[in-house]
Amino acid sequence: MFEVVTYAYNGASAAVYRGLKIERETPKTLRDPGTFLSGAVAGGLGRVVALPFDQGGPKGIVQTVGRRALQFGFLMMFYCPIAHKLLPALEEDPLSKMLTTFMVGAFAGLNMRLVSNPISRVMDESRRIGKSPMDVARIMKNKTILQFWYTTPNLIANAIYFGTLFTVFEGLRRFTERNLAPIVQNESAKDTVMMRYDNESQLVGPSPRHRGPSVVDHNWNWKNYTTTIALNFTIGGAAATVASTVCYPLSAHQYMQTVIHDSAVCRGLMPMLVKEVPMVAFMFGTFSAAQPLLAPRHGVRCGFGY
C-alpha cells in the first residue's frame, strides 16, 4: 500500500512539474510568428480540402476556414517550440517521453482554445449583427466576460484529443524516421576531419556534439524536404484516425452538452472520420511544407519533438 501511495505521489508530482514547465515556456512561443503563419496556412487549406467531405454542408465558408486557420496556427505555435525543446532530452526514457508528448499536446490544445475562441466568437458575431469587432467585444464584455467563450467546446475533451493526436503522430513519425525513411545527412567539410596515423588517412565522422536535433538544422535538402512532407501527410492522417476514434465517446458526449450541435462529431463516428482524417492529413503535410520556409530555424523536422 505504501508503494502504491509513493508511486501515485511521485507521478502526480512529476505531472505537476511538467505542467508548470510547459506553461512557463508557453509565453515564449509568442516570439515564433513563423510557426503561427505556417500553421494558419495549413489550417485554412486543410479546412478547404475537407469542405466536400463535410456532411453538414458548406455553411459560412469564410468563417469556417478562417476559424480553422486561426486555431491550427495557435496550436502549432504553442506545440512545436516547446516540443522541440523538451522532448529530445527524453530520448532514453520512452514512457516519460510519451507522457510528456501527451502533456505538451494537451496544453497546446487547451491554450489554443482559450486564445482563439474569443477571437472567433467576436468575428462571427460581428458578421452576424453587422457591427465592428470592437463594438461586438464591448457588448460582450458588458454582459459577462464568459460571453467570449460561449461556444467553446469542452476544454478537457479537446485537451485529451490533441494530446492523443500529437502523441500518436510523434511516435509514428519517430518510428518511420528510424526504420523506414531516415534523414539524409549532408556532408560538411567542417564536420569531417582527416587524421593521419602511421602514414594512413583515416576519415572521422561528425563529432558527438552534433547528435540529436541540432544536426537536423544543417541537413536541409530537397530529398529530406519532400520526404518529410509526404510522411507527415500520411502519418497525420493515421494519427487523426486513432485520436478521433479513441476520443470519440468523450468528445461526442461533451459536444452534445454545448450549443454546438452541427459539428461533425455529433453526426457519428464515420462522418467525423470522413471529414477529420483528410483535413488533419493535409494540415500536417502543408505545415511541413511551409514551416522550413517561414521558420527555417526549426530544421528539417519542422519543429516536431524528437
Q: What band does 18 get if pLDDT is binned at 50, 70 and 90? A: confident
pLDDT in tens, 155-191: 888 899 999 999 999 999 989 988 888 888 776 534 5
Instruction: Classify the C-alpha dihedral 77-81-87-88 as positive or negative.
Output: positive
Query: What local confidence, expressed as pLDDT, does residue 302 receive?
Result: 83
Compute and round to an integer the Cα radius of gyration of the chain. Answer: 22
Q: Which residue has the higher pLDDT, 142 or 236?
A: 236
pLDDT at 125: 84
Confidence category of residue 306, pLDDT binned at 50, 70, 90:
low
Q: Which residue has the higher pLDDT, 188 or 25?
A: 25
How confident is the model over 228-278, as pLDDT tens digits?
999 999 999 999 999 999 988 876 655 655 545 455 566 678 888 888 999
pTM across the whole model: 0.81
What 8-state DSSP symbol labels residue 9? H
Average pLDDT over residues 207-222: 53
Residue 24 is placed in which grid cell?
A: 512557463
Cβ atoms of residues 48 and 65 within 8 Å: yes
Q: Which helix (H) or strand (E) holds 48?
A: helix 33-50
Q: In the predicted model, what is the mean pLDDT of the chain?
A: 79
Q: How far is the C-alpha of 80 from the C-alpha of 280, rounded, in Å? A: 16
Domain boundaries, the chain: 2-184+220-298, 187-218
**Cβ count near 212 (within 10 Å):** 12
Segment holding 70, helix H or strand E? helix 61-86
- 125 by Cβ neighbours in 10 Å (0-12 / 13-18 / 19+) ranks as buried
Assigned C-alpha cell, 142: 458588458
